[in-house]
Every structure is written in C-alpha cells, then in structure tokens.
Structure 1
Amino acid sequence: MMVPSTRSVGVLALGAAQLFTGALAGVQSCPIDSQLSCHSTSSGTCCYNSPGGLLLQTQFWDTNPATGPSDSWTIHGLWPDNCDGTYESSCDPSREYSNITAILQSQGRTELLDYMQTYWKDYQGDDEGFWSHEWNKHGTCINTIEPDCYANYYPQEEVGDFFQKTVDLFKGLDTYKALSAAGITPSSSTTYQLSDIQSAISAAHGGHEVRLGCNNGELNEVWYFFNVKGNAITGEYVATDTVTDSSCPSSGIKYLPKN
C-alpha cells in the first residue's frame, strides 16, 4: 500500500462523564508518536487500530426514494477495514443495541441526534434500525473504542463517541460541494465520466482515490479511506487511497437529482 499524505481531518473533542459536555473524550490518551494504522505488524492496542486499520467514512446519494437534503449526500457509516478490502463484522454481541436514540439522549447529545435525523437517513424510513445496524455491525469492530480503552468508562460511552466521530468526519467530506466545484451536478439528462467524478472527489481528499458505487449506472455511493494515528476518536485521520474497486462504468454515469 502507498504511504498516505499527511493531510488529516480535524478532531472534535468529545464528552467525558455521563452527560455529554464537549470536554476531552474519555478514551485513553495516546503518545504523539503512535504508529499509523496499516503500517505495522503490531497487534491492536487502544492506540493502534488493528485488524481494522483502515477506517472508511461512507456516504449515500439516494434518489428513489429521495433521501436527505437535495444538496447533500447522506451518511452511510464508519467502517473498519483490514487494510486489504476484507473486514470483520458484528464483533461483540454483548454490546449490540437497538435504542441508539435513547443512548444519545441519555448522554445529552441532542445536537448530534438532530443532525443525524437530517443527514443520517435510512431510505426506507427506519433511521433507528439503520443506526443500530451500523453500530452493531461496524462500530463493535473498532478495537480502539472498546470499553477497556476508556478511563472512568460508563456504559455505552463508546456508542455516542462512534456516532459523533462519524458525523465529524462527514462534515469535512462534502461530496456534493466537491462535485459541484468541478461542474458535476445532479441532472436527469447529463451523464458523466468515471474519471471526472473520481478526479473531483479526490481533489477534496488530498488527491487520494475514493471508491465510487453505482446502481444500474446511477452514482449512489462513495467511500473515503483513512489510516489513523492513535485511537479512532481523538486520533489523526490521514487520507489514503481506496483498496476496493469502483462498481461504476467508465462512462455514461447518471447523477440523478433528488426529486
């Protein structure tokens, strides 16, 4: 794998204690010289993401039915990948939950919840089920946010941190804006080249390639890949290239409007 650039995504400080206060996160602090994930044969620790050393911030563009704002992509999730396109899933049944809304409310994360209700949408309308699926399948497999990695841990603290971190990353990855800046806008008649779409989005990702997803020739998904220095909450996210091939054709790609 190519060594990624030093471009990083800013980290928003998260809550400590039962009520979310915006103070420093409760995860254990990591040394400044922590290793970059996927760049060592070391086993996972609270300061080294492994085996899921790649973290993917994934997004949807749903048009049938139209989901989320007409001028924004929506959140799919935050996924750990084993640095090679493979991944683990549903890693801890004891920490699977079906009440994400209640968990976030109990932590005082109402602003986060409001944002998710706009930008983290299920195309079938079951947001709660979608959020639970993303945590249960992917969140439980991020080793650096396991309960033992917290100081003064309280139950479900890592759940709130997972959703906050995903939202923070999403806010810095405006796919709609990146495409629009290159003249690629939703249209019922115009089609686009894969290389042009890739170039536009890569320009907003430190020059690194993303994974683009299409369904019947219609653009509907993008995956941004990162290595992480430190833990998944307070660590430095460093952009890197996709390890998964696009599912879009090379030309004639539709980018339909959300009507």
Structure 2
Amino acid sequence: MKRSFSIFIKLFVILQSISVLCVSEEFDFFYFVVQWPGSYCDTKNHCCYPKSGKPAADFGIHGLWPNYKDGSYPSNCDPDALFDESQLTDLMSKMQKSWPTLSCPSNDGLKFWSHEWVKHGTCAESELDQREYFEAALKLKDKVNLLQILKDAGIKPDDRFYDLDKIKDAIEEATGFTPGIDCNVDSSHNSQLYQIYQCVDTSGSDFIQCPRLPRSRCPSRVQFPKF
C-alpha cells in the first residue's frame, strides 16, 4: 500500500510539473492581426454592427496571438483565467473604435475581447498582464496605418480587384517588413482581402520580420470591398 501511494504521489508531482511547463512555455513572437470589416460582412454569414454603432471604414484589430517559429501556437494557457472588464474601463472607447466586434447578435464587444484574452492573451502572461496585453495591441494599431498605406499605393476599398503582390509590396515598402495576407470569399465567390498579419517581438512593442508567415488562401488578384 505504501509503495502504491508513493508511486501515486510521484506521478502527481510529475503531472503537475508538466502542467506548469505547458502554461509557462515561452513563445517566439506575436502575430498582430487586423481584419477588413467590408470583407467580414460581405460573405454568406451575416455581420452585425456593435451596440456603439457602425465601425469606421478601417482595419480593426482581430487579435495579438503568441506563436512558435515551427508554425504551431499555444492557446488557452490558463484554464482558470477570467476576463476582468474593470481593468479596461478607461480604454473602452478606444477598444470600441480600434477593436470592434462584428459578430451577431449586436453586442458590446466584451465576449470578443474575453475570448481573445483567454485563448491568446493568457499565453503571453509571462510578458504582458491583461491590461498590458490590450494596451499593446492598441498601440500597435496606432503605429501603422495600413489603410492609408494602401491608399497611398492606389489600393482602395472600392470593390475593385488588386494584385496581391502589390498589396504586399506597398505594406513592406512602408513598414520594412513582409506581411501575411489572408483572404475570404464573398457570396459571389470572389476572393477578398480579409486579414493582414504583422509580426511583433515578444514584448508586444516592435514589429519584426516574420519568422514564419501564415499560409495564404489568396489568389494572385483579390477584391478590396467597400464598407
């Protein structure tokens, strides 16, 4: 009996150690992901404007996602994590503007932000607490005006089709770093510019060259829909 109990204790300690390692394992970089609301809404799925009203015709934050260089990523690193709205009280107006939700039914964004924190943010707690995580994403959004960069290159949200390489080149020329581009498909089966990925160091402060770009689902020409 004593031997069995001793083995049980050893196994428990080992499992606890593995659990801690899984939670605290360091990541290599962030993907900072923004999405075009016109492409989100222009699909077979419905979109709903948030309770604060229709968002501006601008890229909105999707998330700040820890990643590994091998293409994998951690998620839901703290099963007991809770989203604390009170930590973001003074950031709410900026969150609504820069990180709007378009999911239905119309809502205030708290569910979206809670999901991003629990799934992705908790895996960055070694670097950023909850408030710092959301502040970092907002600051990154302010650092690079992707819509203006594209407009300056003659690429506008006017329902026209543009060369994917020209979109990438415009962003790389303005920022110094190659972006990742993700597309979705509208109800007419047109591929649309949907999400732009930029890579960020583990402090969440500075853009870097991507150690690994996400797999693209885009053809050589994509539509930039109105919103």
TM > 0.5 = yes
Q: 1:238 offset after TM fit, Å?
A: 4.3
1:197 corresponds to 2:167: yes
Larger Cα-atom Rg: 2
The 1-side partners of 2:98 and 2:213 are apart by 26
The 1-side partners of 2:153 and 2:102 are apart by 27
The 2-side partners of 1:181 and 1:84 are apart by 34
Q: 1:204 offset after TM fit, Å?
A: 2.6
Alpha-carbon contact 2:98-2:141 (below 8 Å) kept:
no
Alpha-carbon contact 1:50-1:143 (below 8 Å) kept:
no
Of 89, 105, 108, the residue aligned with 2:75 is: 89
Change (3 A) 1:50 1:176: farther
1:51 corresponds to 2:26: yes
Alpha-carbon contact 1:84-1:243 (below 8 Å) kept:
no
Q: 1:237 offset after TM fit, Å?
A: 2.0
Supply the RMSD in Å over aligned alpha carbons: 2.1
Q: 1:94 offset after TM fit, Å?
A: 2.1
Partner of 2:133: 162
Partner of 2:178: 209
1:47-74 CA distances to partner (integer Å, 9 max, x unpaired)?
Answer: xx9632111111010221476211x210
Percent identity (aligned)? 28
- The count of corresponding residues between Structure 1 and Structure 2 is 184
Alpha-carbon contact 2:32-2:199 (below 8 Å) kept:
yes
Residue identity matched to 1:69: A
Relative contact order higher in (CA < 8 Å, ≥ 6 apart): 1
The 2-side partners of 1:93 and 1:214 are apart by 31
Q: With the length of structure 1 as denominator, give the TM-score of the two structures.
A: 0.66
Change (3 A) 1:239 1:50: farther
1:153-198 CA distances to partner (integer Å, 9 max, x unpaired)?
Answer: xxxxx2111111110011112110111110000112x211110111
Q: 1:131 offset after TM fit, Å?
A: 0.3
Partner of 2:56: 69
SS at match of 2:199: strand
Q: With the length of structure 2 as denominator, give the TM-score of the two structures.
A: 0.74
Of 126, 135, 139, the residue aligned with 2:121 is: 139
The 2-side partners of 1:193 and 1:167 are apart by 29
The 2-side partners of 1:225 and 1:239 are apart by 5
The 1-side partners of 2:213 and 2:182 are apart by 13
Alpha-carbon contact 2:34-2:59 (below 8 Å) kept:
yes
- Which 4+ runs in 1 deviate beyond 4 A? none
Alpha-carbon contact 1:55-1:81 (below 8 Å) kept:
yes
SS at match of 1:93: coil
